[in-house]
Amino acid sequence: MSKKKFLAILLSLVVLAAVVSAGVYWQTGRSTEQERSQKSDSSKSDQSVRLTNLPKGVKSTDWDLILVNKWHKKDSEINFDKATVSGVTVDQRIKQAVLDFQSGARAAGYQTNLISGYRSIQYQKEVFAGVKKNNLAEGMNDAAAEKATAAVVQYPGSSEHQTGLAIDMAGSDAFERYPSLEANMDQFDSQKWLIDHAADYGFVLRYPKEKEQMKQTGIDYESWHFRYVGVANAKYMKAHNLTLEAYVKGLQEAGR
């Protein structure tokens, strides 16, 4: 083989190698690009929303938009003036709204039971400890008892009931059928009415049933737990199908 021919073959091998590796690089580049766009798609569905036409003057730091969940715990008691409605304690600022919500239901033909309102962190600790104790008594080990308890009781500090802005309310017939509160209560017309009209009184159904929304709230569907957020916020959240988590995040992203 002549030296010239040898060089020519060597050169074409080098070119071929370059072409092949460029192709491989292009393929890998492309697949990471695909993965990346898939990733950003799934984080988009996470809860990021661009909110427009927000209610005037509303800020994410407003008292009635306080967010308490398992990712936003409040480890010390929240201070506010308390009031009693139908034997249940709530933040004094929402007393009238609760009364109006109940009398609205009554006017539509539905009696309601107000089951629960404000609960202190201390009380939540006692509830948690009590349920865990029962689980232990049933023969579970500590870890299993803790897990089984956390599945049905909010950890102290992460329950929205400590804000005084949350109520558990049910149509009396629904409550009679499901005294321990179950999602199925929504099969009663009374509960449907409460869910459909909550926003008119400044409340939202706080833990909706769509999978994506359960991921945002960290809590399974509760057809009886309503949260006061004010009429303008409640109507906006209802119209746009937003959880409180998504709404507060959207407000923050809008610089509110």
To which residue do tokens 């509830």 refer? 127
Query: Catalytic residue at 146?
Result: no
Q: Which is nearer to Zn ion, 41 or 77 (CB)?
A: 77
Enter the DSSP assignment of 76. S
Q: Residue 210 carries which DSSP code?
A: S
CA distance 189 to 112: 12
Is residue 235 within 8 A of residue 54, CB to CB? The reply is no
Q: Is residue 109 within 8 Å of 100, Cβ to Cβ?
A: no
Per CB under 5 A, 206 contacts Zn ion: no
Which candidate in 126, 210, 222, 245 is catalytic? Answer: 222
Which residue of this chain has its Cβ atom nearest to Zn ion in the complex? 225
Helix or strand run (H / E) with residue 93: none
Paired residues of 227 in beta bridges: 166, 204
Which residue in 157, 152, 168 sits closest to 90, CA to CA? 168
Residue 168 engages Zn ion in binding (rule: CB under 5 A): yes
Q: Is 173 in the site for Zn ion (CB under 5 A)?
A: no
Q: Which stretch binds Zn ion (CB under 5 A): 75-83, 128-136, 167-175, 186-194?
A: 167-175
Among 132, 225, 227, 249, binds Zn ion (CB under 5 A): 225
The CB-of-124 to Zn ion minimum distance in angstroms stands at 11
Nearer CB in complex with Zn ion: 225/249: 225
Scanning 119-127, 144-152, 170-178, 224-232 for contacts with Zn ion by CB under 5 A, the matching segment is 224-232
What is the H or E stretch that residue 244 is in? helix 244-253
User: CB-wise, 58 or 114, nearer to Zn ion?
Assistant: 114
Residues near Zn ion (CB under 5 A), total: 2
Work out whether 119 is an interface residue with Zn ion (CB under 5 A).
Answer: no
Burial class (CB in 10 A: 0-12, 13-18, 19+), 177: middle
Q: Which residues are catalytic?
A: 222
> What residues make contact with Zn ion under the rule CB under 5 A?
168, 225
